[in-house]
Structure 1
C-alpha cells in the first residue's frame, strides 16, 4: 500500500451541527415555499449522496429549478459557515494524520460541492497532510470516477479508500481498490476489506 484516500463526512469530521444552523437560519426560514426546517436526521440521511439526489430527497415538493437554486444557496452559506466555525473532528484525527503522512500519501475524495473541502482545510488547518483532493462539484464526476482520477493524477499504485457509507463501498469497487469501513460514521456497510471502530484504529490496520 502506498496511499490512503479519505472520505470526509463521517470519516474525518461531523459537520452536521454547523450545517444545520447555516441551512435553517440563512435559507430555509427565509423561503416560504419550504414548510419545515431541516433536521439532523435529514442530513444524516443524505450523507454520501450527490447534489441532485440531495435536492430530490430534501425538497421533493419544489420544482426542479427552484430546488437547484435553494440547494445552491444552502451550499454557499454552508461553506461560509464551515470555513468560519468548522465542524467536529473525530478524536485524534490530526495525530493519526501526522503518523500516516510519514508513511503514506494522503488524499480526500468527497461527494461535496466545490468549496466544501476547502472550508474543512481553512478552519482546521489540516491541508498540509493531504497531497490532493477531488469532488463532483469541481469535476462533475461520480465518487468512483473521482477516486480513479486521484489515482491516475498522482500515479498511485496501491491505494485504499476509507469511508463510512454504502456509496463509499461502491466507489471503492468501481475504482478497484480495497475499502476500509469507518464504522463510527453515518452509514451501515456489511461488506469491506478492513473495518475501524474509531479513527485511530487506522494505526493498527496500516
Structure 2
C-alpha cells in the first residue's frame, strides 16, 4: 500500500456535540419544528449526503423548507466548529504523524464544502495530509470522489478507512481495500480489516 484515504466523521473525530449545539440553536427559532435534535438523531445520519440528512431529520418540511433550514444550520455549524472543534479520537495526531512518514495521507468525506478545512484549522492537522475531497465541493458521491482523488494524485495502491456501510460501498466501487473503524458511528456487512481504536492502524501499516 502506498496511501491511506480517511473518512472524517466517526473515523478521525466525533463532532456531534458541537454540531448538535449549532443546529439546535437554529431549530429553537423555527416555529415549524416541535423539538430539538438529539445526539442519537445525528448518529443516524453519519456518512450521508446533506440532502439525505435533511430529509431524515426534517421529514415534515417541504424540500424548499429543508434546504433553507439546512443552509442556515450549516453556516452556524461552521462558526461553532471554528470556535469549539470536535473531539479527536485518542492518539489521532501521533498516529497520523507516524503514518505520514511512510504513506501518503488523504481525506474523502460526504461533508459540505469548508468542513474539512475547519477540521484542519482547529486541530492543526493539515500538515499530515496531501489532498482531500468532499461532496460539498464536487457534488459527487463518495465513491466518485475517492476515484477522483486517486486519479488526481496518481495513487497506485490506496486503502480507505471508514465507519459506515456507505464507506464500505464507496471503497468497493473504487476497487480498493476497506478498513472498518469499529469505534465509529456505524456498522458494516464486511471489511478487509477492522480496528477497535485508531492507534491499531500502526500494527496494520508496520
TM-score range, shorter-chain basis? Answer: over 0.9
Give the structure 1 partner of residue 12 of structure 2: 12
Distance 1:108 1:30 in 2: 34
Q: Distance in 1 between matches of 2:16 and 2:32?
A: 23
| Cα deviation code 1:81-103 (max 9, x no counterpart) | 11111000000000000000000
Q: Tell me the SS of whatever aligns to 1:96.
A: helix
Q: 2:34 and 2:163 mapped to 1: Cα distance?
A: 31
Matched residues in 2 for 1:128 and 1:35: separation? Answer: 43
Tell me the residue number matched to 1:176.
175
User: What is the alpha-carbon distance in structure 2 between the residues aligned to residue 5 and residue 79 of structure 1?
Assistant: 23
Query: In structure 2, what is the equivalent of residue 77 of structure 1?
Result: 76
Report the aligned-residue RMSD: 0.6
Normalising by structure 2, report the TM-score.
0.98
Q: How many residues align?
A: 205
Is the CA contact (8 Å cut-off) linking 1:178 and 1:193 kept in structure 2? yes
How many Å apart are 1:190 and its aligned residue?
A: 2.8
Question: Could you tell me which residue of structure 1 aligns to residue 112 of structure 2?
Answer: 113
Aligned partners of 1:75 and 1:149: how far apart in 2? 25
Match of 2:163 in 1: 164
Correspondence for 1:204? 203
Preserved contact between residue 16 and residue 87 of structure 1 (Cα < 8 Å): yes
Q: CA deviation at 1:79?
A: 1.4
Listed one character per residue, the Cα deviations across residues 143-183 of structure 1 (whole Å, up to 9, x for unaligned) are 00000010000000000000000000000011110000000
Q: Deviations over 1:65-91 (max 9, x none)?
A: 010010111111111111111000000
TM-score (norm: length of structure 1):
0.98
The CA distance in 2 between the partners of 1:6 and 1:83, in whole Å, is 21
Runs of 4+ with deviation above 2 angstroms: none
Aligned pairs for 1:114-133 within 5 A: 114-133=113-132
Aligned equivalents of 1:63, 1:190: Cα separation in 2: 33
Gaps of at least 5 residues in structure 1 are: none
- In the other structure, the counterpart of 2:62 is 63
User: Deviation at 1:12?
Assistant: 0.2
